[in-house]
Every structure is written in C-alpha cells, then in structure tokens.
Amino acid sequence: MLKVEELNVYYGNIQALKGVSLEIHQGEIVTLIGANGAGKSTLLKAISGLLKPKQGSITYMDQPIGGKAAQTIVKQGISHVPEGRRVFANMTVEENLELGAFLRKDKDGIRQDFERVYELFPRLLERRKQLSGTLSGGEQQMLAMGRALMARPKLLLLDEPSMGLAPLLVKTIFRIIEEINQTGTTILLVEQNANMALSIANRAYVIETGRVVLSGTASELNESDQIKMAYLGGH
C-alpha cells in the first residue's frame, strides 16, 4: 500500500532522515519505535506532505506521492493526526469534525462518518457543542483522531496518541485504534510507549538518529533483547 525508499529529509542543514525505507501493507498496523528526536514525526510529515523529502521516493497505491501537497495526499486517502492534538480551540467539537471532511462532497457518506466517529468516541457526542479548547487532553486526542477519520482515510498516520494520557485512557485509545483498523483502515503508529504499540501492531520498525536500525514482526521485536533493553524497560 505504501512504500518508502531511501528517504532523505532535511531541516536546513540538519539531516533528520537518512535513507529510510519501509513498507506498509493494506490492513496492517505498523508501528515506528524510537527515542526522542529519532525522526519518527519527520517521517510521518514527509508521508502526509507537510515536509518535502530531498531524495528518495514515497509510493502510495502505486502512485508517487513524495513532495506532493498535503491536500492532494489527504484526497488520495492518507490522514495524519499530528503530535500534540492540534484541534481548533475556538471551534466546537462538531465544527472540528466537519473540517475533517472539508474535501468531501458525499453528504450521505459524511453523515455516516459522523455517526461512526460518535460511536467510536461517545464522549465526543456528549460534548459536540462544547468548544474544543475546553476539552481534556484525552478528549482532544479523541477529537483529533475523529477529525482525521472524517476524511475517510485508507491509511491513518498517528503520532504519539498516548502522550500525556492517564494509563486507563491509553488503554481506551489503543482499543479504539484496533477497532479503527478492524473496520478496514491501515495504520502507521508512532509511539514512545513501545509495549503498548507492539501489543497491537503486526510489524514494527525501530528508528535511531534518522535510520531504520531494526524491523520485524511485533512478536519478534517483543522477544529481541536489544529492544527489551532499549525500549521495553529491560524486562
């Protein structure tokens, strides 16, 4: 579904991605694991068109998408939930969700997706008229995910959905990610919480200082001593 080959991305003179290659197959949950600053968010931004790669290719459904405008990429079926859940604080929950569908014209489909998002996140239904800036951190995360789903993506890019959330809420968010996947959406998940990420993923890539240093099935990586020491708390 998505193939990234030998990708190099720079911020000015700083090279954040150094020849990254990876593949995502339809229906999978793939997770990217790595320390702060490893380049995980940069990779998601390059895929969703927020950053232009300097070299390398990104192919989605057999089409090159590297360097295309973010709007074009959303239209092709890739949605990105950025780190830090940027919702529009002065707009209501419902207005934020509407914005997620702004490139669509299929009114019936949009209505169905509103229902689907409210089913996945009943909390958002209760608070649909509330200003988003007054939502809790967890609710804002739900809204950011809900807004991305309103574009009806085939591939959903999630950047640190568990960040700053209480453990119980982290569990809920991960359960919902699995549910979204089971209804046909492929997922690329960036997480610091490697334990949780590997528990729901099919496969994983480990990124260190801009390079993929290890990849495999989630169970292989769960068993790897290197991963246990570096990312799973050494257990």
Which residues lie near ligand ATP (CB under 6 A)? 11, 14, 16, 34, 36-42, 83
Please report how close the Cβ of residue 128 comes to ligand ATP at its closest, in angstroms: 31
Q: Which is nearer to ligand ATP, 26 or 226 (CB)?
A: 226
Please report how close the Cβ of residue 134 comes to ligand ATP at its closest, in angstroms: 26
Amino acid at 58: I
CA dihedral 165, 145, 201, 188 (to 10 degrees): -120
Q: Which is nearer to ligand ATP, 38 or 97 (CB)?
A: 38
Please report how close the Cβ of residue 159 comes to ligand ATP at its closest, in angstroms: 7
- The DSSP letter of residue 230 is H
Core vs surface per residue 213-231: b (16+ CB within 10 A) or e: ebbeebeebbebeebeebb
H or E segment and range at residue 121: none
Q: Which is nearer to ligand ATP, 101 or 145 (CB)?
A: 145
Please report how close the Cβ of residue 116 comes to ligand ATP at its closest, in angstroms: 29
Q: Which is nearer to ligand ATP, 38 or 65 (CB)?
A: 38
3-class secondary structure, 190: strand
Q: How many CB atoms lie within 10 A of CB 109?
A: 12
Please report how close the Cβ of residue 192 comes to ligand ATP at its closest, in angstroms: 6
**Beta partners for 194?**
none
Q: Which is nearer to ligand ATP, 98 or 208 (CB)?
A: 208
Rg of the chain over Cα atoms, rounded to whole angstroms, equals 17
Cα separation, 179 vs 4, in Å, equals 26
Please report how close the Cβ of residue 125 comes to ligand ATP at its closest, in angstroms: 31
On the CB side of 3, how many CA atoms lie within 13 Å of its CA?
7
Q: Which is nearer to ligand ATP, 93 or 212 (CB)?
A: 212
